[in-house]
Amino acid sequence: MNGLVNNGNGGVKAVLDKAEKLIIDTDPGIDDSMAILMAFHCPEVEVIGLTTVFGNAQTEDATRNALLLCEIAGRQNVPVAEGSTEPLKGGRPRVADFVHGKDGLGNLFLPDPKTNKIDKSASEFLVEKVSESPGEVTVLALGPLTNIALAIKRDFLYKQVKR
């Protein structure tokens, strides 16, 4: 952190030397969507990727929602990597469609995104980004931790994640 400055509203805010690199591991339903949009507009963080998992919606819908959120925010350059479709121990994932609707976004059924997910799995993407910048990447896990577990299983160096 570089220091504190007046925020113009009678308070102070932290000023960082550089934005924190952030990957959001998410199951974008209504709540995660708000968090993602807020992160996109936060100058203190640089969202370097979204990874998706089942939870609020099925993984395929979570990926679709993540791509739509990137488009809505004008962040089509942010890579979206699709993750696990089932729990580590197998079986059907529990999905909160009774809260978030069948599409994960309250049954809005928005048009399909124009962008596509990347050709890497979520765990592969997580390991790659942490390896490229050891000790600099923060992972914000908003959904089930399956992708995180798979990243650790894939490469013990994943432990170089900042937090």
CATH number at residue 125: 3.90.245.10
- For residue 1, being part of any structural domain is answered with no
Residue 127 counted as domain residue: yes
Residue 9 counted as domain residue = no
Residue in the block written with tokens 């995180």: 148
Residue 39 lies in a domain: yes
In a domain, 5, yes or no: no
Q: Which residues contact 45 (CB under 8 A, 6 or more apart)?
A: 19, 20, 21, 22, 39, 138
Please list, in sequence order, all residues whose beta carbon lies within 8 angstroms of the beta carbon of residue 100, skipping any fewer than 6 positions away: 29, 30, 56, 57, 106
pTM for this one? Answer: 0.87
Give the pLDDT confidence score for residue 1 in this predicted structure: 45
* Segment-wise mean pLDDT, segments of 10 residues, the chain, 163 residues: 57 70 97 97 97 95 98 98 94 86 88 97 97 95 96 81 84
**Residue 123 structural domain:** 18-159
**106 occurs within a structural domain:** yes
10 part of a folded domain: no
Q: Which residue spans within the chain are E strands per DSSP?
A: 3-6, 12-15, 20-26, 45-52, 80-82, 137-141
pLDDT at 90: 87
